[in-house]
Each structure stands twice: as C-alpha cells, then as structure tokens.
C-alpha cells in the first residue's frame, strides 16, 4: 500500500512538471495573434541575398485556396529539396473544450519570418485531448521544431493525417511523418550556426558599420509563414 501511494505521488509530480513546461501548440493570448504581410519567392534569394546564408529556408503557405495552399517547401542553399502538404491553424478563437482544448486559445499560425528556438524529437502536448491525457503525457507531436513561442512544425498526430492540405491544427504546422523527420534531422545538424539577424517582417538587421548583424548561436534555418493565394 505504501509503495502504491509513493508511486501515485511520483506520477502526480511528474505530470505537474510536464504541464508546467508544456508547449501547447496554440496561442493563449487575450487577442488574436497578429499576421504580418510577408511573402517569399525564389527570386528573393537574389534580391534578399541574406536569406541564402541560411542552410535551409522553410516556406509554409497557410492560404486556404490556390495552387500553393497549405503547402511546405524546403530549400537548401536556394535549391528546392522538399515539397508537401501541411495543416496550419484553424484560424479562429476556440473556447476550452472545443477540439478537446484544455483552455481558451487562438488556433492561429501567425505569418512572418522566424528561426527555430528549440527542437524536441518526442514532444507531447498536455493542452489537448481527453480528460486523462496527462497520464500518458498528452498528445504526441513528434519531431517538433518550435519557432514562434508555442507554435511548431511537427509530425501530424496519429489520426489527423487525412486533414493534411486543409486548415486543421490548433496553431502548429502539421507535417507528413517522413517530411517531419527529415526536416528535424537536417535542422538539428545546424545548431550553433552563425546566422543573420532579422525582423518578423522579413527585413535584415544592419549593424553600426552598415553590414549584416549576426547571431552566433542559432539554427541555420529560416522559417517563413505566408498567406498568399496563387492561382
């Protein structure tokens, strides 16, 4: 009996710790996250040459229609190497309980220019799923690449793969499993790179001498989320 009680206490403490550091995959801000009017085209590798200094450029188009809708393209030093379908946020406010959410949130994937903040190969989110999901650590979001607060690129949770190509997530960018694992491995290898500093609107930062400003401890990956309808 004593051992059983000890096990229960340990389990509860572990769950509490998990929830305290949980990255949910949605925005819990009181107001809707702001979309920045940004774009990216292959010509930008020439007109914005700083973008080509990144080993990888990952472009997500969260548009709901058009030839390029709900897609991902990955470039390696300017060359297209990966293309596929994604699911971005449902783009609406959702009260706790909707889509099994544990709290009020915005299911928005904000547009803008970003770079990965950290990676978690076996990430689980306790912010979604059933009442007792915390017992198993939450919803599995493998190969998570966090780039904007709680928002990440990650493998589509089991059972949601058929929604790829449509807006269906709580805010993250869901990917096919093979693409998620490949992008994760590639970006992970670039950790500690010297990369240009830039703003969310896609402008590069300049130092006092008029040169590009750099960060020396990032991932050599530029992640761009845009919302452009291509006919």
Instruction: Write the pLDDT tens digit of every residue in 163-194.
Output: 999 999 999 999 999 999 999 999 999 999 99
Least confident among 11-25, 42-56, 78-92, 217-231:
11-25
- Find the largest Cα–Cα distance for the chain: 70
Q: What would the mean pLDDT of 203-210 be, rounded to a whole number?
A: 96
Provide the β-strand partners of residue 141.
123
Element at 10 (helix H, strand E): helix 2-20
What is the CATH number that goes with domain 2-226? 2.40.440.10
Per-residue pLDDT tens for 13-71? 344 333 333 455 666 666 899 899 999 999 999 999 999 999 999 999 999 999 999 99
Is pLDDT above 90 for 200? Answer: yes
pLDDT at site 27:
67
E strand map for the chain:
56-61, 71-76, 79-85, 93-94, 105-106, 112-114, 118-125, 139-148, 151-155, 173-175, 193-196, 214-218, 221-226
pLDDT at site 169:
95
Indicate the pTM of the whole model. Answer: 0.86
Per-residue pLDDT tens for 98-114? 877 778 889 999 999 99
Kindly report the backbone phi and psi dihedral angles of residue 131, in degrees, each rounded to the nearest multiple of 5, phi listed first.
-55, -40
pLDDT at site 136:
63
Is pLDDT above 50 for 212? Answer: yes
3-state helix, strand, coil in the chain (%, to 5): 20, 30, 45
Provide the β-strand partners of residue 114.
223
Per-residue pLDDT tens for 120-164? 999 988 776 655 565 666 788 999 999 999 999 999 999 999 999
């Amino acid at each position: 009996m004593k051992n059983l009680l000890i096990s229960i206490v340990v389990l509860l403490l572990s769950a509490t710790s998990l929830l305290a550091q949980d990255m949910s995959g949605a925005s819990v801000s009181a107001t809707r996250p702001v979309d920045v009017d940004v774009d990216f085209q292959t010509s930008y590798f020439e007109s914005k040459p700083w973008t080509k200094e990144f080993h990888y450029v990952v472009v997500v188009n969260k548009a709901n229609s058009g030839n390029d809708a709900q897609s991902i393209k990955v470039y390696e030093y300017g060359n297209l190497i990966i293309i596929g379908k994604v699911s971005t946020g449902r783009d609406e406010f959702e009260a706790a309980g909707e889509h099994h959410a544990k709290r009020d949130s915005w299911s928005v994937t904000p547009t803008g220019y970003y770079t990965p903040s950290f990676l978690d190969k076996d990430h689980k989110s306790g912010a979604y799923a059933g009442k007792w999901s915390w017992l198993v650590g939450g919803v599995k979001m493998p190969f998570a690449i966090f780039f904007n607060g709680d928002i990440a690129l990650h493998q589509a949770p089991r059972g949601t793969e058929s929604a790829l190509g449509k807006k269906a997530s709580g805010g993250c960018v869901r990917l096919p499993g093979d693409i998620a694992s490949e992008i994760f491995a590639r970006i992970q290898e670039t950790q500690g790179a010297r990369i240009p500093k830039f703003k969310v609107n896609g402008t590069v930062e300049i130092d006092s001498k008029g040169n590009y400003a750099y960060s020396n401890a990032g991932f050599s990956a530029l992640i761009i989320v845009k919302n452009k309808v291509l006919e």
